[in-house]
Amino acid sequence: MPKDVMRSLQLNDQGQLRHFLSLDNLPGALLTEILDTADSFLEVGARAVKKVPLLRGKTVCNVFFENSTRTRTTFELAAQRLSADVISLNVSTSSTSKGETLFDTLRNLEAMAADMFVVRHSDSGAAHFIAEHVCPNVAIINGGDGRHAHPTQGMLDMLTIRRHKGQFENLSVAIVGDILHSRVARSNMLALKALGCPDIRVIGPKTLLPVGVEQYGVRVYNDLSEGLKDVDVVIMLRLQRERMQGGLLPSEGEFYRLYGLTEQRLRHAKPDAIVMHPGPINRGVEIESAVADGPQSVILNQVTYGIAIRMAVLSMAMSGQTAQRQMNQDAEEHA
């Protein structure tokens, strides 16, 4: 999808968020607004009553065609903390497994009169397809689609970096591992670029690096120790065996020997570098337990920040949809 079409699909006429499908071509100012809004929601999690009334009376429907306990649970918590009614459907074990098309599933979901769908799908572009065909005034949030995008994960990673390292203008960030199959890696590269990070590095074997990855403004390394030299942030990625075809890796043991993050290899980064991972972690495959559980790890912080980011995205998309509906009504009255 052309970038200008993608942008117009996601934003209303005033540049506010309507759908959240990808970080592609979204302005840095909007991403900063998402981070600032999420910051304001973090304190909600520390309250005795963990709720604000922003989405009271609204219904959020989590539609997961692909399993993900962590993402689904944090979206559920985010919607509940905004006082929305929440429905979660594991569609992977229901209608589509019986042959129903994505379009037919969408029409049945619309009949539930939900105000927002959070969609996770194994096919790239599924969330975009739904956003293009859904009835007006329903917001679509991409909870991860194929190899394409995982925008809320990208933004929770940005919130993690900002809260631990401040602004992005002077940072060096390394993304390590299975770049080829990772929608998280793509979203992170887009977000870091939009937020002004000057040094983005991707590190991995040639077989797990996409052709033309340099177009994202990154530097490519095949040697882990060299790529980690003096970085501020290390983002490790899971080996996605379920998406691999053919002999891209000789073995998990060989990958760990060359690209696993150990305490020794982490010493190549700055002494105060933080270590991140979108989860689930494969200990002894991409990361050593001593690092995953060590003082530089902020992996559990990412989960906490994920709730705040998803609260921000849900509330901003609903607000953008409401504003667009009002603009359309005003235009009709003056026509």
CATH 3.20.20.70 fits 3-149+303-333, yes or no: no
Residue 219 burial by Cβ neighbours in a 10 Å radius (0-12, 13-18, 19+): middle
In whole angstroms, give the CA distance from residue 236 to residue 256.
12
What pLDDT is stored for residue 77 in this prediction? 95
335 pLDDT exceeds 80? no
Decide if 195 contacts 168 (C-beta within 8 A). Answer: yes
Residue 165's pLDDT band, with cuts at 50, 70 and 90, is very high
Tell whether residue 279 is among the known ligand binding residues. yes
In whole angstroms, give the CA distance from residue 187 to residue 1.
16
259 pLDDT exceeds 90? yes
Kindly report which listed range (50-59, 85-94, 136-145, 240-249) carries the lowest average pLDDT score.
240-249
What pLDDT is stored for residue 65 in this prediction? 86
What pLDDT is stored for residue 316 in this prediction? 97
Kindly report which listed range (133-137, 229-233, 271-275) carries the lowest average pLDDT score.
133-137
Tell whether residue 71 is among the known ligand binding residues. yes
**104-131 pLDDT per residue, tens:** 877 887 888 899 999 999 888 989 999 9
**Mean of all residue pLDDT scores within the chain:** 90
Tell whether residue 262 is among the known ligand binding residues. no
Please give the C-alpha separations between residue 286 and each of 224, 255, 262, 291, 301, in angstroms, as whole numbers. 12, 8, 9, 11, 19
Residue 244's pLDDT band, with cuts at 50, 70 and 90, is very low
Tell whether residue 153 is among the known ligand binding residues. yes
Tell whether residue 150 is among the known ligand binding residues. yes
Tell me whether the CATH fold assigned to 3-149+303-333 matches the one assigned to 151-297.
Answer: yes
* First and final C-alpha spacing in the chain: 32
92 pLDDT exceeds 80? no
**10-22 pLDDT per residue, tens:** 999 899 999 999 9
Tell whether residue 210 is among the known ligand binding residues. no
Tell whether residue 50 is among the known ligand binding residues. no
What pLDDT is stored for residue 243 in this prediction? 46
What pLDDT is stored for residue 143 in this prediction? 95
Encoding tokens for residue 195?
């937020």
In whole angstroms, give the CA distance from residue 191 to residue 179.
15
The pairing of strands 139-145 and 172-176 is: unpaired
CATH 3.30.70.1060 fits 151-297, yes or no: no
Tell whether residue 280 is among the known ligand binding residues. yes
Residue 204's pLDDT band, with cuts at 50, 70 and 90, is very high
What average pLDDT does this structure show over 65-69?
83
What pLDDT is stored for residue 95 in this prediction? 53
Residue 167, Cβ neighbours under 10 Å: how many? 12
Query: Domain-by-domain residue ranges, the chain?
Result: 3-149+303-333, 151-297
Percent of the chain whose predicted confidence (pLDDT) is above 70: 92
